[in-house]
């Protein structure tokens, strides 16, 4: 992958497009055009796949697209022929540009500048940016404090495609072509970006989430004090963070890991897709495994985690019955398990957990859940009243005897009243959380009756 360090040392970028070459037979005389796939490109040359064993210094005319409508051509000299170990093609031909007219050189230079992601990001003010959306035939769209804003010129489909593809290594490129989606994270300056590159109506597009390096304690990022208290006093069990997409679940989970890493001796094993926040060993040892890179799936990693004897097991997201079954087993076996789930409310989170199991297995699963669940947080992100940024509003369920009974019986309509009457256990409703934020002057009163 291109990094901030090597982008200036190596001006070549990956160029996964069709190009054509023609052998030079004589002055202004060229052979039949042959289409093939390019490997990389720079202002000085181009690499492409071929089955022809070109002699070194062979002259070829190469034509490639620099937009949806424009092409450039240049005369190249073969300077390298490398054997390809896998794939349908035998060789990669490396060429250097021998001659190109000034108009085509200017267009090629502008194109290369437009498809180099780090050069592109250098022009963007990323302060308080949450997400960046690269959409064909649209300017870059950034999300700040819940609002969308367009930045810069319209980016055509071809430019977006190349911006996205030149940051993919071969494995991720093959996965994108096969599954039509790929997720990963990378560093840019003092930030880490989580990327999702996908197809939309046949076009390649992407969404980047901006992740800040600094991870505070749960109380530093706005979580109730009871969260730290539970982690300090609970050696085993299950803590679940629920919320919609983009509600800050990963940040909350990472703050918990950071907190545990600062006081708990032992092994912390985290399974993520992709790894967003990087943790360093402190009181204990922390291992971070990335789905797709270090393990084929969450369920596979969790299954093997039970044999690795972690004191804390962190599962970035619980998405299916197999993973949830293993989560419950790990919590029953003596580990403290942290995970997230997509749900808009506490009731919905509990119902979704039950729904992972077939009807005849739900009762047993809920009995197990009632015994290991130590805390369920459901959160929303709300724009700050003053300045940029978002603040979390968090509903807290700390299962007492009454709550455990309700979970076993799946009597979800009683959950709200249990939370309302459980303040002495550290519980709070979403409405209580928003009221507190309004009283502190953190959010506007208009959000009291809204579900953000």
Whether residue 407 lies inside any domain: the answer is: yes
Q: What are the φ/ψ torsions at residue 433 (nearest 5 degrees)?
A: -60, -45
CATH of the domain at 197: 3.30.450.90
Last residue within a domain, chosen from 114, 138, 169: 114
pLDDT of residue 168: 92
Last residue within a domain, chosen from 82, 114, 146: 114
**Are residues 251 and 194 located together in one domain of the fold?**
no
Say how far apart CA 302 and CA 130 lie, in whole Å. Answer: 30
CA 24, 95, 106, 117 torsion-angle sign: positive
- 202-227 per-position pLDDT tens digit: 999 999 998 877 788 899 989 999 99
* Sequence-separated (6 or more) residues with CB below 8 Å from residue 149: 141, 142, 143
pLDDT, one tens digit for every residue, the chain (452 residues): 444 443 434 468 899 999 999 999 988 899 999 999 999 999 999 999 999 999 999 999 999 999 888 999 999 999 999 999 777 889 999 999 999 999 999 999 999 988 889 989 998 888 888 899 999 999 999 988 768 899 999 999 999 999 999 899 888 999 999 999 999 999 888 788 999 999 999 999 999 998 877 788 899 989 999 999 999 999 999 999 999 988 999 999 999 999 999 888 899 999 998 888 889 899 889 999 998 889 988 888 888 888 888 999 999 999 899 999 999 999 999 999 999 999 999 999 999 999 999 999 999 999 999 999 999 999 999 988 877 778 999 999 999 999 999 999 999 999 999 999 999 999 999 999 999 999 999 888 888 775 44
Structural domain of residue 229, as residue ranges?
Answer: 225-449
Last residue within a domain, chosen from 114, 138, 155: 114
Say how far apart CA 150 and CA 140 lie, in whole Å. Answer: 6
pLDDT of residue 88: 82
Which residues sit opposite 208 in a β-bridge? 132, 195
**Are residues 259 and 173 located together in one domain of the fold?**
no
Annotate the chain with three-state secondary structure: CCCCCHHHHCCCEECCCEEEEEEEEECCEECCCEEEEEEEECCCEEEEEECCCCCCCCEEEEEEECCCCCEEEEEEEEEEEEECCCCCCCEEEEEEEEECCHHHHHHHHHHHHHCCHHHHHCCCCCCCEEEEEECCCEEEEEEECCEEEEEEEEECHHHHHHHHHCCCCHHHHHHHHHHCEEEEEEEECCEEEEEEEEEECCEEEEEEEEEECCCCCCCCCCCCHHHHHHHHHCCCEEEEEEECCCCCHHHHHHHHHHHHHHHCCCEEEEEECCCCCCCCCCCCEEEEEEECCCECCHHHHHHHHCCCCCCEEEECCCCCHHHHHHHHHHHHCCCEEEEEEECCCHHHHHHHHHHCCCHHHHHHHHHHHHHHEEEEEEEEEEECCCCCCEEEEEEEECCCHHHHHHHHHCCHHHHHHHHHCCHHHCCECHHHHHHHHHHCCCCCHHHHHCCC
**Are residues 269 and 130 located together in one domain of the fold?**
no
Say how far apart CA 311 and CA 55 lie, in whole Å. Answer: 61
CATH of the domain at 276: 3.40.50.300
Whether residue 218 lies inside any domain: the answer is: no
**Are residues 25 and 106 located together in one domain of the fold?**
yes
pLDDT of residue 94: 96
Say how far apart CA 288 and CA 311 lie, in whole Å. Answer: 14
**Are residues 145 and 233 located together in one domain of the fold?**
no
Give the side-chain half-sphere CA count within 13 A for 229: 9
Whether residue 245 lies inside any domain: the answer is: yes
Whether residue 53 lies inside any domain: the answer is: yes
Give the chain's length. 452
Whether residue 137 lies inside any domain: the answer is: yes
pLDDT of residue 264: 84
Whether residue 220 lies inside any domain: the answer is: no
Cβ atoms 52, 91 nearer than 8 A: yes
**Are residues 12 and 100 located together in one domain of the fold?**
yes
Total domains, the chain:
3
CATH of the domain at 17: 2.40.10.220
pLDDT of residue 10: 44
Q: What is the CA radius of gyration of the chain?
A: 27
* Sequence-separated (6 or more) residues with CB below 8 Å from residue 76: 21, 45, 46, 59, 60, 61, 62, 95, 96, 97, 98
**Are residues 305 and 280 located together in one domain of the fold?**
yes
pLDDT of residue 11: 64
pLDDT of residue 1: 40
Whether residue 298 lies inside any domain: the answer is: yes
């Amino acid at each position: 992958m291109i990094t901030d360090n090597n982008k200036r040392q190596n001006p070549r970028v990956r160029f996964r497009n069709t190009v054509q070459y023609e052998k030079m037979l004589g002055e202004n005389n060229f052979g039949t055009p042959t289409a093939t796939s390019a490997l990389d490109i720079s202002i000085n040359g181009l690499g492409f796949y071929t089955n022809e064993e070109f002699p070194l210094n062979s002259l070829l005319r190469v034509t490639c697209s620099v937009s949806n409508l424009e092409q450039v051509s240049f005369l190249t000299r073969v300077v390298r022929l490398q054997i390809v170990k896998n794939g349908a093609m035998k060789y990669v031909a490396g060429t250097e540009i021998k001659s190109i007219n000034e108009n085509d050189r200017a267009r090629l230079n502008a194109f290369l500048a437009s498809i180099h992601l780090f050069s592109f990001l250098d022009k963007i003010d990323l302060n308080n940016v949450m997400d960046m959306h690269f959409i064909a035939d649209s300017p870059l769209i950034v999300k700040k404090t819940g609002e969308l804003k367009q930045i810069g010129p319209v980016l055509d489909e071809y430019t977006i495609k190349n911006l996205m593809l030149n940051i993919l290594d071969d494995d991720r490129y093959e996965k994108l072509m096969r599954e039509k989606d790929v997720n990963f994270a990378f560093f840019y300056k003092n930030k880490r970006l989580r990327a999702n590159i996908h197809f939309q109506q046949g076009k390649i597009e992407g969404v980047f989430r901006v992740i800040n390096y600094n991870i505070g304690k749960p109380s530093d990022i706005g979580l109730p004090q009871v969260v730290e208290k539970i982690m300090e006093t609970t050696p085993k069990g299950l803590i679940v963070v629920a919320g919609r997409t983009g509600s800050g679940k990963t940040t909350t989970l990472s703050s918990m890991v950071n907190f545990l890493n600062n006081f708990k001796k032992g092994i912390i094993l985290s399974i993520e897709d992709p790894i967003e926040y990087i943790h360093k060993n402190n009181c204990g040892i922390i291992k971070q495994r990335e789905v797709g890179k270090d393990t084929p799936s969450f369920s596979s990693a969790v299954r093997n985690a039970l044999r690795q004897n972690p004191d804390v097991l962190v599962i970035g997201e619980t998405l299916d019955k197999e993973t949830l079954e293993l989560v419950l087993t790990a919590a029953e076996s003596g580990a403290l398990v942290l995970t997230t789930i997509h749900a808009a409310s506490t009731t919905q989170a509990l119902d979704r957990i039950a729904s992972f199991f077939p009807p005849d297995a739900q009762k047993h699963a809920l009995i197990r859940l009632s015994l290991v669940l130590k805390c369920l947080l459901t959160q929303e992100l709300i724009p700050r009243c003053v300045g940029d940024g978002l603040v979390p509003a968090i509903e807290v369920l700390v299962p007492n005897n009454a709550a455990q009974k309700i979970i076993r019986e799946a009597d979800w309509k009683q959950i709200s009243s249990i939370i309302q009457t459980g303040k002495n256990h550290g519980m709070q409703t979403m409405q209580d959380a928003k009221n507190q934020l309004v009283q502190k002057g953190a959010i506007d009163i208009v959000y009291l009756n809204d579900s953000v």
